[in-house]
A = this chain, B = another copy of it.
Amino acid sequence: MGRGKIEIKRIENATNRQVTYSKRRTGIMKKARELTVLCDAQVAIIMFSSTGNIKGIFDRYQQAIGTSLWVEQQRMGEDLDVLEFDELRGLEQNVDAALKEYHVITTQTETYKKKVKHSYEAYKNLQQELGLREEPAFGFVDNTGGGWDGGAGAGAGAADMYAFRVVPSQPNLHGMAYGGNHDLRLG
């Protein structure tokens, strides 16, 4: 897709890798946005690039907490970025941080909202039937508020934004309380 054909294997040169990441990320996000519009679909994309420099990360962190750890945009078709890093903690010796980028693209319709609600109920049932026992450590969150309909009657075709972030813990699927074993010792 360019002047030359490239083999799909890790780009060893860090600069080139970052450039390619940036370009291709843009491309994927564009396509995802198109898909949401064309097919009335919901697409959520989370990308974690393994590159990124500490200065840039720290700058973005400061900017982020300037408002909130959540950086939300309610306009449809916009991207959403949330960043967090380990520099902040300083509890380990690792020097270069993970730059995490969260992107969510979504189209929200009343019809969809209903469907999600139904699936949610169905899923709860399935969990019981299957007796799942995993204790997940991360959480995909719906930040639209307490309920599925957020406010008043809500006009058809209203746009909402779903977002993702890392959360500290979750109960297991049988109602266990928060506070399990999360001693994340390395090696």
Measuring CB to CB, which residues of chain A are less than 8 angstroms from any residue of chain B? Answer: 6, 8-11, 17-18, 20-21, 24-25, 27-28, 31-32, 34-35, 37-51, 65, 68-69, 84-89, 91-92, 94, 97-98, 100, 109, 111-112, 114-127, 130, 132, 134-143, 146-149, 153-154, 162, 164-171, 173, 175-179, 181, 184-187
Question: Which residue of the partner chain, among B11, B112, B166, contacts A98 with CB atoms under 8 Å?
Answer: B112
Question: Which residue of the partner chain, among B6, B41, B109, contacts A47 with CB atoms under 8 Å?
Answer: B41
**A18 CA to B38 CA, complexed, in Å:** 10
Number of copies: 2
The listed residue with most B CB atoms (<10 A of its CB), out of A39, A50, A148, is A39
Contact B34 A24 (CB under 8 A): yes
Contacts of A45 in B (CB 8 A): 32, 43-46
**A138 CA to B92 CA, complexed, in Å:** 30
